[in-house]
């Protein structure tokens, strides 16, 4: 494999309604039918990524959870993963008690993924599609032997999430992402991952597994910068954060105008003439 193309999802491949447009889907499926090596690297879990990507003929592993998970879409199974450290899990238990808040927890045990939905997280559940793994109502302190891969907390009052953020921010073994939802006004999210994984480590591992010689990637947000460091060519969509544009080789079209798909078509055809 000469070149592997990897794109972020939200704000990059997806439109303003978090969808793969019909134009993007048609272009990429046509190119993949002619041998295009293509996949995605996203902060999303398989629970929200797979329904969004339905209709794209993806065969290569997906880089999920900001690099914490490599997932095979054809077999619907986890290939590799990086869980929370035991200390980070214990710290999260204490933070939940302090903040009096429960969240959405994704765990794995013996290769099986499970989702645990806290009793005050009903409004967040629309971000994670049901049916792709078992669901329970466990909190962090009740996990038992499961390994924790991902935690997400949401509320319309960010000060509630701030309590968990302030408690866990000093930990070197956790990555925290505290943000306002780009799709739903007035909703805030706090997401937590293992700090030992990143989009950089994820795409480099994917490069090794696929035997690719070069990586070409696309992004829009600050969490895409580690991926940019790993790639031979990195491109920012027109709507990207200014810092992402500064770090990119060049800027391309907007996410709402199928910018990634159009660029890949031109780049892939040029490299295969």
**Numbered ranges of CATH 3.40.50.1000 in the chain:** 3-81+197-271
CB 147 within 8 A of CB 154: no
In eight-state DSSP terms, residue 41 is B
Architecture of domain 86-194: 2-Layer Sandwich (3.30)
Sheet strand arrangement including 233-237: 38-40, 3-7, 214-219, 233-237, 250-252
Least confident of 31-40, 148-157, 232-241: 148-157
The Cβ of residue 129 has, within 10 Å, a number of other Cβ atoms equal to 17
Kind and range of the H or E run holding 25: helix 22-33
Q: Tens digits of per-residue pLDDT, 242-272? A: 999 999 999 999 999 999 999 999 999 998 7
Residue with tokens 């048609």, as numbered in its chain: 26
Q: Which residues contact 76 (CB under 8 A, 6 or more apart)?
A: 46, 50, 132
Q: Can you read off the two tokens belonging to residue 247?
A: 């770090």
Q: Tens digits of per-residue pLDDT, 181-225? A: 877 788 899 999 999 999 999 999 999 999 999 999 999 999 999
The pLDDT assigned to 129 comes to 47
Rounded to whole angstroms, how far apart are CA atoms 6 and 156?
A: 33
Q: Which residues pair with 106 in a beta bridge?
A: 115, 150
Fold of 3-81+197-271: Rossmann fold (3.40.50)
The pLDDT assigned to 123 comes to 47
The pLDDT assigned to 120 comes to 54
Q: Tens digits of per-residue pLDDT, 126-171? A: 445 445 566 777 888 888 788 999 999 988 889 989 999 999 999 9
Rounded to whole angstroms, how far apart are CA atoms 250 and 260?
A: 12
Q: What is the mean pLDDT of the chain?
A: 90
Burial 53-92, CB ≥16 within 10 A → b, else e: beebebebbbbbbbbbbbbebeeeebeebbbbbeebbebb
CB 125 within 8 A of CB 153: no
**Numbered ranges of CATH 3.30.1240 in the chain:** 86-194
Q: Quick one: average pLDDT of 25-47?
A: 95
């Amino acid at each position: 494999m000469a070149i592997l193309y990897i794109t972020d999802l939200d704000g990059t491949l997806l439109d303003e309604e978090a969808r793969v447009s019909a134009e993007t889907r048609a272009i990429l499926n046509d190119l993949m039918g002619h041998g295009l090596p293509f996949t995605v690297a996203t902060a999303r879990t398989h629970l929200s990524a797979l329904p969004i990507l339905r209709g794209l003929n993806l065969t290569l592993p997906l880089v999920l959870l900001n690099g914490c998970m490599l997932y095979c879409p054809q077999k619907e199974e986890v290939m590799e993963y990086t869980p929370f450290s035991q200390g980070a899990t214990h710290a999260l238990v204490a933070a939940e008690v302090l903040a009096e808040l429960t969240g959405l927890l994704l765990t794995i045990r013996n290769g099986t993924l499970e989702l645990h939905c806290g009793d005050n997280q009903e409004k967040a559940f629309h971000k994670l599609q049901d049916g792709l793994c078992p669901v329970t109502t466990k909190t962090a302190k009740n996990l038992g032997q499961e390994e924790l891969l991902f935690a997400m907390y949401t509320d319309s009052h960010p000060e509630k999430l701030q309590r968990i953020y302030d408690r866990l921010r000093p930990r070197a073994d956790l990555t925290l992402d505290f943000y306002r939802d780009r799709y739903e006004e007035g909703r805030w999210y706090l997401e937590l991952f293992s700090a030992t994984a990143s989009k950089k480590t994820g795409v480099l591992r994917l490069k090794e597994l696929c035997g690719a010689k070069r990586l070409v990637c696309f992004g829009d947000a600050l969490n895409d910068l580690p991926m940019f460091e790993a790639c031979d060519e990195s491109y920012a969509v027109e709507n990207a954060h200014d810092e992402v544009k500064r770090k990119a080789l060049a800027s391309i079209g907007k996410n709402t105008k199928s910018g990634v798909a159009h660029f890949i078509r031109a780049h892939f055809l040029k490299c295969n003439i």
